[in-house]
Amino acid sequence: MLYTGGTIGMVKDDHTQSLKPFNFEHLLSQIPEIGQMDCEISTDSLDHPIDSSNMKPEHWLRLAKRIYTDYAHFDAFVILHGSDTMAYTSSALSFLLENLGKPVILTGSQLPIGISRSDARENLLTSLEIAIAKNEQGQAMVPEVAVYFEYDLFRGNRIHKISTEDFEAFQSLNYPKLAEAGVHIKYHKSVINPHPSKPIKLNQNLCNEVAVLTTFPGMSQAYVEAVLNISNLRGLVLRSFGSGNAPTDAWFLEALRNKIEAGLVVVNISQCDGGGVIQGKYEASKGLLEMGVLSGQDISFEAGLTKLMYLLGENLSPSELKKAYETNLRGELTQK
């Protein structure tokens, strides 16, 4: 169990009544039921646990390397993480850990573990139960990066945080839940990634020379050019309308085309959480298709961004990158 920081790791100080960072030494006193589980648990944390708003690619790499290094020594990994950027971390880990055959379950909470009404207790206990679950062949039930929150288990690269108030903080509109927890945990085996036939591989390169351009009615030429002219920019996520549509102003299309011809990789991801990009369906996306903008299809924004960072880090040729981006690598998109 690895603790990175976040709301789940807060406990109330008996003297000051203020919230303080979580201490693993007090885990069993906070949730004594953990001691009754049929497993041995080792715990560790970042040297300096952080608010998940401060999560960066170097933290993703540290987590991935730690899992890879300890892979042969543990049956599963549970990561305690703040909910704000959990979808980014779970997506990034899915790309960094190739041929993953063991559970990597991320969880957190909307209320600190020391609060009486906290969702932390259930989220953590069920995450552990899922992590140690085996199928009929004695293999891990969920051999992939997943997120457990409020009775639902989601694929890690398919989620999006939808609420800061509800305990049901995440949704996965484009892919079914992997499992649902009630009196029993019901696993939807047909939608869980199969066990890999190859050994785990650690990918260690991420390129953060990327930017996001969100389209909106009335966006100015100065705004677009400011984003496109960022120094050393290698990749751009274009957050388009609906099924991949964007303004058809000549200056906008010309600016994008010039940058693509100069080597910029542009991927088209819809601002909508459900559905996806179908370039060329409408006239408003035909120009993007013709100039070589890549289609994110039904990928989530978080997975689309981290996948771009991962593939740019691999230093692929333009044709290889296009093929890889538009291919389902870890269950992150629905291959047409």
Output the CA torsion 221→222→226→227 (10° steps).
-30
Instruction: Say how far apart CA 245 and CA 28 lie, in whole Å.
Output: 52
Other CB atoms within a 10 A radius of the CB of residue 48 amount to 8
Q: Which amino acid is at 55?
A: M
Residue identified by tokens 């709301």 is: 7
Instruction: Say how far apart CA 278 and CA 40 lie, in whole Å.
Output: 48
Clarify whether 7 is annotated catalytic: yes
Buried b (16+ CB within 10 A) or exposed e, 183-215: eebebeeeebbeeeeeeeeebeebbeebbebee
- Residue-by-residue DSSP string for 144-170: SEEEEETTEEEEGGG-EE--SSSS--E
Q: 173 CB contacts (<8 Å, ≥6 apart)?
A: 160, 273, 274, 275
Out of 7, 89, 107, 306, pick the active-site residue: 7
Task: Evaluate whether 154 touches 172 at the Cβ level (below 8 Å).
Answer: yes
Instruction: Say how far apart CA 272 and CA 334 lie, in whole Å.
Output: 16
Return the structure tokens found at 298. Answer: 């039904």
Residue identified by tokens 């885990």 is: 27
Return the structure tokens found at 244. Answer: 């991949």
Instruction: Say how far apart CA 324 and CA 201 lie, in whole Å.
Output: 17
Task: Evaluate whether 318 touches 294 at the Cβ level (below 8 Å).
Answer: no
Sign of the dihedral through C-alpha 279, 280, 282, 284: positive
Q: Which residues are catalytic?
A: 7
